[in-house]
A and B are shown apart, each in its own frame.
Chain A
Amino acid sequence: MTMTSEPTPAAKKKLGLKERYALMTRGLDWETTYQPMEKVFPYATYEGIKIHDWDAWQDPFRLTMDAYWKYQAEKEQKLYAIMDAFAQNNGHLGLTDARYLNSLKLFLTGVSPLEYMAHRGFAHVGRAMPGVGARVACQMQSLDELRHAQTQIHSMSNYNKLYDGFHSWRHMHDRVWYLSVPKSFFDDAITAGPFEFMIAIGFSFEYVLTNLLFVPFISGAAYNGDMGAMAFGFSAQSDESRHMTLGLEAIKFMLEQDPDNLPIVQRWIDKWFWRGYRVLTLVAMMLDYMLPKKVMSWKEAWEIYAEENGGALFADLARYGIRPPLGWQQACDDKEHLSHQAWSTFYQYQGAAPFHTWVPSPEDMAWEAEKYPNTFDQYYRPRFEYWAEQEAAGTRFNNATLPQLCQVCQIPMLFTEPGDPTRICYRESEYDGETYHTCSDGCQAIFDHEPEKYVQAWLPVHQIYQGHCFGPDADPTSPDFNPLLEVIKWYRMDVGTDNAPYEGSRDQENFQAWKAMQTKN
């Protein structure tokens, strides 16, 4: 008998990446015969986007489903190892300060529900796209987004055991005044057609803006000792690279398929840049006011991730006839003001927000002045110093009157005129016999293009006045009826605890007490 066997005929050359991708994403589809294709894919054409050859779609990463599962499993194992270690080791006591947690409360109520909506959105769009390459990519992104929602909720659930304001994020997302901003943003996208959704979320949000949300803030979480948020944030962001690439591929694909697509795509970029930018108002104040140890200012983050990176992107897309979005210059100019205007708003409406606010300390104000030499001392320091005096005198400024909201972004009308930070920017449109108010040229243009869509906006202030925001046990006919208190209860905020100033809060008290116990028996 011989020990030598035949040389394996399977010494076949391993397939290259490009061949593997082609095999796994092409020829999986068929032309339907029982039903016409346009009935199987009913949303593929009504937006006016013309596609002639779906096989021209390429995923530059060439990721196939088998490789996807392998690497996602690896990411999950790394992520949960860190989250478990952080929880087992009382990691929360390593935070720089309990004020930091308020940025997480904002994140959990405002951002995590959007991850879930993105999961739904990409599942829907994947189903609606007649091309297989696009559908595989949307399927992966849909799964990613579900993972992001889950890991964020898991990670932050550890804090819910110990700190206030984390308990009713899902309930709040559908009700609380400032959460109508991110909620309506995503509702707007998901009720658009599949191609607009790809430009809205895949391109404008993921490619142009998501770095601003995840990179400096999550780096800041690490800087402030929060390994849980660092782990979910960077794990999510590793998927974002693929999402950004999908968004860029989607826009190139649409522009290369037919010249008639250009004006439609450009209008969507104009709209969705502005919609996304308005949502990021919350992130600006997280970076500049809510991180106890700050990694970079909003202005610096904007310069790196929007001006430099977005500038490179739009220079590249110019060959298709695409120009930077309308509103780009205004967003660049407003980087000097955005975070200060936003934090002022939350400070005065403390009673209606489930996280704590505070006046920046003298050291923090020195940091603001250094980062914002053109604006902070002139426009914003005087109001913060005045509020600090009022607090010291026991008369903290609490604004108890409801603000006017923008019909499109739903943010209180707090933004100032381009070039004049001393004047509120007011825009009005007439439609079908009624007046509609918007906060900017960007939001007004969005309203004017599709007024029939935005007349439906669920504006929290108007809903309160219409009597839709009280619990079943509230009695508006009772002589001591306090409408604002009833609204806060309907939000499920623990009155006097969740919505209290940081100074004197239970979070502050507990954190200090637990820190003191760390080194004593």
Chain B
Amino acid sequence: MSTVFIAFQTNETSRMIVEAITDDNPEAVVNEQPAMVKVDAPGTLTVHRATVEDKLGRSFDLQELHVHLITLSGHIDESDDEFTLSWNAN
């Protein structure tokens, strides 16, 4: 199965985002590198706005991801509530 990934700059907001991702995507693997954190997942990975808001204790617009993002891989489907990466050929 193809791997999707998303990577963020290391900071306090992205720490919460990564926690939200690992809560919601049990197969996600966190890989810490200097100044960055990369999350790999088989086939698909979803960021849920509600979980991130819960972690941050404030409202969160999923487009705020742009501020912390470094890179990603996979097709994107984004709505107000979910941000999903996936490959079609699993």
Closest A residue to B74 using CB positions: A312
Contact with A along B73-89 (1 / 0, CB 8 A): 11111111000000111
| Known A-B contacts A237-B71, A308-B3; A71 and B76 likewise in contact (beta carbons under 8 Å) | no
A295 to B35 alpha-carbon distance, docked (Å)? 11
Closest B residue to A252 using CB positions: B75
A244 at interface (Cβ–Cβ under 8 A)? yes
Closest B residue to A21 using CB positions: B78
For the A-B complex, the count of residue pairs with Cβ-Cβ distances under 8 Å equals: 96
A309 at interface (Cβ–Cβ under 8 A)? yes
A248 to B80 alpha-carbon distance, docked (Å)? 22
Residues B88 and A215 in contact, CB atoms below 8 Å apart: no
**Interface range on chain B: under 10, 10 to 19, 20 to 34, or 35 or more?**
20 to 34
8 A Cβ contacts from A211-236 to B: 211, 214-215, 218-220, 222-223, 230, 234
A62 at interface (Cβ–Cβ under 8 A)? yes
8 A Cβ contacts from A274-318 to B: 295, 308-309, 311-313, 315-316, 318
| Known A-B contacts A62-B78, A312-B87; A241 and B70 likewise in contact (beta carbons under 8 Å) | yes
A18 to B9 alpha-carbon distance, docked (Å)? 27
| Known A-B contacts A17-B79, A60-B78; A74 and B67 likewise in contact (beta carbons under 8 Å) | yes
Contact with A along B12-51 (1 / 0, CB 8 A): 0000000000000000000001111000000000000000
8 A Cβ contacts from A66-100 to B: 67, 71, 74-75, 78
Closest A residue to B9 using CB positions: A234
Residues B71 and A319 in contact, CB atoms below 8 Å apart: no
Closest A residue to B1 using CB positions: A312
A379 at interface (Cβ–Cβ under 8 A)? no
Give the shortest distance, in Å, between A85 (CB) and chain B (any CB).
14
B68 surroundings in chain A (CB, below 8 A):
238
Residues A309 and B5 in contact, CB atoms below 8 Å apart: yes
Residues of A at under 8 Å CB distance from B? 16-18, 60-63, 67, 71, 74-75, 78, 211, 214-215, 218-220, 222-223, 230, 234, 237-238, 240-242, 244-245, 248, 295, 308-309, 311-313, 315-316, 318-319
